[in-house]
Amino acid sequence: MHKFRIPFAREGLWPVLVSLGLVVLLFWIHPLAALPALPFFLFLFWFFRSPYRKIDTDPEVLLSPADGKVMSVVPVEYDPMLDGPGVRVSIFMSVFSVHVNRAPCSGNVTLVEYREGSFLPAYKSHACELNERNSLLIDCETGDRRVRVNQITGMLARRIVCDVRQGDRVEQGARFGMIKLGSCAELVMPPTCAVLVRPGQAVRAGKTVVASWR
């Protein structure tokens, strides 16, 4: 048994309640008047959904930070946060994806860095380099291991939500933020990790194993 959780992200609580109130008000005026507002309420409730997921924690693997589809798996010559080479897995989050982001591992957040940028379509290969982003550096709880998670905006996604700060602890699979209206999430890890996903593969935040520590 798990304790009850609201099935949508807290960032959507007020928009959902306001839209529901509008539907009720219009229905009180006249049932037909509520029809145009009802799809808007349903869209908001669906968009901000955050379904409960049972997380099978394992310190020897890295879980996907986002729902979506793997766009690319590429080597990185030098990552300033990792202070060395790495491997970057980019995940495209469409407008139909669950937009909640989850921690790939348990550990301490040692750095949170926001960078302004463009709002190019998230599926463009160069968008991940140019678009606005928020980055987290997580020191994993086991061994000398660290990973980087990037939350990147897209053409429609203009707001990044990050609920953790430097010094906070995160648990593997726990929610730490969201990106609104389709975007991109990246996981950057040391080259010693064995990547277990491929481009085009569908992944689920907190469920799909992206890589393992070798």
Active site residues: 183
Of residues 167, 189, 190, 163, the one with CA closest to residue 101? 163
* Beta-carbon contacts of residue 56 (< 8 Å; ≥ 6 apart): none
Measured in whole angstroms, the distance separating CA 194 from the mean position of its chain's CA atoms is: 22
Burial code (b: 16+ CB inside 10 Å, e: under 16) for 68-87 equals bbbbebeeeeebebbeeebb
Cα separation, 112 vs 167, in Å, equals: 9
Cα separation, 207 vs 66, in Å, equals: 9
Cα separation, 144 vs 155, in Å, equals: 37
* Beta-carbon contacts of residue 187 (< 8 Å; ≥ 6 apart): 62, 64, 65, 88, 89, 91, 104, 147, 148, 149, 150, 210, 211
Of residues 51, 52, 70, the one with CA closest to residue 211? 70
